[in-house]
């Protein structure tokens, strides 16, 4: 497949991956909370309701035996969540109660928020 055709296919699929969850209201307090999140590594927005999705998490060990967090992408693929991407103290507690992964296919993990913070 030609690289230009592959790029066109990826770009065409991007809007479908970034669609807000069904029934979401862009003016709701939850949507405003999503927009308030900032990337812990570079600053700036984690994006919004359309990029953060509930995820399943697990802890594994890397090749050196260090504990690492992994989460599932929307298609069910497990990815490593770098420590630098975890928002440990969001502006207000996570209103969804779910672990959230902010992930885009062309970028990777942008942010991660635990469902319950103490």
Tell me, yes or no, whether 6 lies in a domain. Answer: no
User: Is 99 in contact with 89 (CB distance < 8 Å)?
Assistant: no
Tell me, yes or no, whether 76 lies in a domain. Answer: yes
Tell me, yes or no, whether 43 lies in a domain. Answer: no
pLDDT tens, residue by residue, 74-99: 999 999 999 999 999 998 899 999 99
Closest by alpha carbon to 111, among 51, 39, 54?
39
Tell me, yes or no, whether 35 lies in a domain. Answer: no
What is the C-alpha to C-alpha distance for residues 102 and 33, in angstroms, rounded to an integer? 14
User: Is 1 in contact with 19 (CB distance < 8 Å)?
Assistant: no
Tell me, yes or no, whether 26 lies in a domain. Answer: no
Residue numbers of the domain that contains 104: 54-118
Tell me, yes or no, whether 114 lies in a domain. Answer: yes
**Global model pTM greater than 0.85:** no
Tell me, yes or no, whether 100 lies in a domain. Answer: yes
What is the C-alpha to C-alpha distance for residues 106 and 108, in angstroms, rounded to an integer? 6
Domain count, the chain: 1
* CA trace torsion 94, 107, 65, 63 (10° rounding): 160
Tell me, yes or no, whether 91 lies in a domain. Answer: yes
pLDDT tens, residue by residue, 95-116: 999 999 999 888 899 999 999 8
């Amino acid at each position: 497949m030609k690289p230009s055709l592959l790029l066109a296919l990826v770009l065409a699929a991007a809007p479908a991956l970034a669609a807000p969850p069904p029934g979401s209201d862009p003016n709701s307090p939850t949507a405003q909370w999503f927009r308030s999140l900032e990337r812990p590594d570079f600053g700036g927005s984690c994006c919004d309701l359309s990029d953060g999705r509930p995820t399943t998490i697990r802890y594994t060990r890397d090749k050196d035996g260090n504990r690492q967090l992994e989460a599932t992408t929307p298609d069910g693929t497990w990815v490593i969540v770098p420590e630098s991407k975890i928002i440990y103290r969001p502006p207000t507690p996570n209103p969804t109660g779910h672990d959230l992964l902010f992930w885009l296919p062309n970028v990777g993990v942008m942010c991660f928020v635990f469902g319950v913070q103490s």
